[in-house]
Amino acid sequence: MIGIFRNVCLWVDDRLHVSKLFAATAGHHVPKSSGSWFYVLGSATLLCFMIQLVTGTLLAFVYVPSASQSYETLMYLSYEQPLGWFLRGLHYWGSNFMVGIMFLHMTQVFLFGAYKYPREITWISGCILMLLTLGLAFTGQVMRFDEDAYWGTGIGAAIAGRVPFLGAQLVQLMLGGPIINSDTLSRFFTLHVFILPGSVLALISLHLRMVLTKGINEYPKPGHIVRRETYDQEYAAIIKKEGVPFFPKAISKDLVAASIVIFSILFCAAVFGPKMPNGPADPTQIVTVPRPDFYFLWIFAVAALLPVYTETFLLLAGGPVIILILFALPFVNNTGEKSWRRRPVAVITVILIYVVLGILTYLGNASPWSPEMGAWTSATTEKSRVIGRSPLELQGLVLLQNKQCRNCHAIDGVGGHRGPDLMNIGTRLTESQLIRQIIQGGGNMPAYGNKLLPYEVEALTAYLVSLRPEGQPPARDSSVPAVPPKEQSHTSLPPKPHGES
């Protein structure tokens, strides 16, 4: 009985070369030092991709990539299809984890000098994988064919439209026609489920192949210098001296990390759920505030903050330049110190990139540069900003709402944040300065000169001058001598009483 079983196994192994394959792959020898917690990030990214493949394939059982039906199928998936919401949650959180862990992996590889000789191709294939993953994330948010997806695609088209000479053709190529419609969705669907995942699979094979042929980076020791002439022998010596088979000696931490990742994705999907579409992609429904998913918020912020004259150039050239720098890195910095302990510039670069991306993402989320479209009818005002005001000043407050000033200006933090908060404006600008600013605009404020009647300006400034902390006098023209506060409170109020007799 055991003999037959053994023979069958040997036969299978002979035909399929399983044991040789195993020895060449999972059983290949790695430096003992690479069995580190820092080295689990690559396999964790791969695991996320596997989850995405499985959940994505299953979602395609139900999802219909058609502009007229995708929204309904998403609703069906989320509310009616058994466990549909959970699969959507797994796919959504799987993508978040994949992007996050991928960047951690890239950071670790950079800090550990793993891109240096002889692993240039490993690094470059990893960079292409990063671009493909971001492509999957972008096309994935278009699959949630909602308002954000529609206008997000529009933003993509508007950027493509800035390309010189070929802009118009590129827009058509991206949209699959002259305008965003079902062809656009089908096109992004094809990218999302065929072209990009296929390319990722191909690149992963190359990436892993390189890990096998050139070996995994040994845990770098400070002071140990990489030289092209000697490195290969040194690495062979390390493998010979302290090499262990990846399976089962070095895989344990990867396994633990893998289970942590799976549990985390399960947890997030169950507790936070999938991201729900924010309304069907109906372009005539313009009461919308388009925002990208969080990994693109920093680009959204960059688009708002760049000076106008640099914008087209940086939006178009920025991407290629970053990619070029990433591709050139292993050739420019091919040898030398690997350990981050001896590479302060690398450490500072990483910190800088993370801080900048973090701040931009925060700003993109808060987007203080956007007017708050509904503030003019919904922003409330603190009691202390209303009580004690004369009818004219109260009318000024109504004007502040009516003329949509609150869309860009908050009072006590309530309202838009495009312009300065008006809570203490009365202490900073005099009546005539306020009038000038309102009439002529300037400093990114539109001019209201031909939109306001003189009485309206009078009421507005009367209210604005009254916006100041208790007991503080209004701003005064420096050319006018200061007067005791008692008289001042009367002279500062603009209109002379008429009706009192």
Partner 1 sequence: MRFSPGLSASLAVLLSVLLPACEWMPGRPRKADEVVAPTAVMDFSKLFTQNCVGCHGAGGNISGSFALDDPTYLAVVPEEKLRAVITGGVPGSLMPPFSIAHGGMLTDDQITVLVQGISAWKPPAANSSALPPYSAPPGQAAAGAQVYETYLASLRKMAGDAMFADGFLANRAFLGLTSDQYLRTLILIGRPELGIPNFERAIPGQPLSNEQIADMVAWLISQRKNEFGQPLVPVPQ
Partner 2 sequence: MKDDRMNTDSSKEPEKCACEGQAKAGRRDFLLKIGLGLNAIAAAAIGIPIVGYALSSFVQKFPLKSVSLGPVSNFPEGTTRLASYRNPYSRKWDGDTAEIPCWVRHISNNDFQVFAINCTHLGCPVRWFDESKLFMCPCHGGAYYQDGTHAAGPPPRPLYTYEWWVENNELFLKGGILPTLADPKV
Please give the residue ranges that form the binding site for partner 1 (CB under 8 A): 75, 78-79, 82-83, 85-86, 89, 146, 268-274, 276-279, 282, 285, 287, 374-381, 383, 386-402, 406, 453-456, 458-459, 462, 489-490, 493-501
SS3 317: helix
Cα 489 to chain centroid distance, Å, stands at 50
**Cα(405)–Cα(398) distance, integer angstroms:** 10
Give every CB contact of residue 496 below 8 A, 6+ residues apart in sequence: none
- What is the pattern of x (binds partner 2, CB under 8 A) and - over residues 129-168? ---------------------xx--xx-xxxxxxx---xx
Residue 158 interaction partner, one of partner 1, partner 2, none, beta carbon < 5-8 Å per kind: partner 2
**Cα(126)–Cα(204) distance, integer angstroms:** 8
Residue 322 interaction partner, one of partner 2, partner 1, none, beta carbon < 5-8 Å per kind: none
User: 265 or 299: whose CB is closer to partner 1?
Assistant: 265
According to CB under 8 A, which one of 304, 314, 350, 392 is a site residue for partner 2? 304
Taking the complex as a whole, the smallest distance from the CB of residue 427 to partner 1 amounts, in Å, to 17
**Cα(76)–Cα(180) distance, integer angstroms:** 24
- For the stretch 435-443, contacts whose Cβ atoms lie closer than 8 Å and that sit 24 or more positions apart, written own/partner, are 435/461
User: 161 or 336: whose CB is closer to partner 2?
Assistant: 161
171 touching partner 2, by CB under 8 A: yes
Give every CB contact of residue 130 below 8 A, 6+ residues apart in sequence: 102, 103, 106
Cα–Cα nearest to 346, from 359, 360, 332, 357: 332
Taking the complex as a whole, the smallest distance from the CB of residue 13 to partner 2 amounts, in Å, to 11
User: 234 or 282: whose CB is closer to partner 1?
Assistant: 282
- What is the pattern of x (binds partner 2, CB under 8 A) and - over residues 323-362? ----------------------------------------
User: 4 or 271: whose CB is closer to partner 1?
Assistant: 271
Question: Dihedral, CA atoms, 41, 45, 47, 51, nearest 10 degrees?
Answer: 150
User: 40 or 299: whose CB is closer to partner 2?
Assistant: 299
**Cα(29)–Cα(49) distance, integer angstroms:** 25
CA distances from 248 to 32, 195, 244, 299, 401 (A): 12, 35, 9, 43, 69
Residue 396 interaction partner, one of partner 2, partner 1, none, beta carbon < 5-8 Å per kind: partner 1
**Cα(5)–Cα(9) distance, integer angstroms:** 6
Taking the complex as a whole, the smallest distance from the CB of residue 462 to partner 2 amounts, in Å, to 19
Binding span for partner 2 by CB under 8 A among 130-138, 172-180, 245-253, 336-344: 172-180
306 touching partner 2, by CB under 8 A: yes
User: 196 or 422: whose CB is closer to partner 1?
Assistant: 422
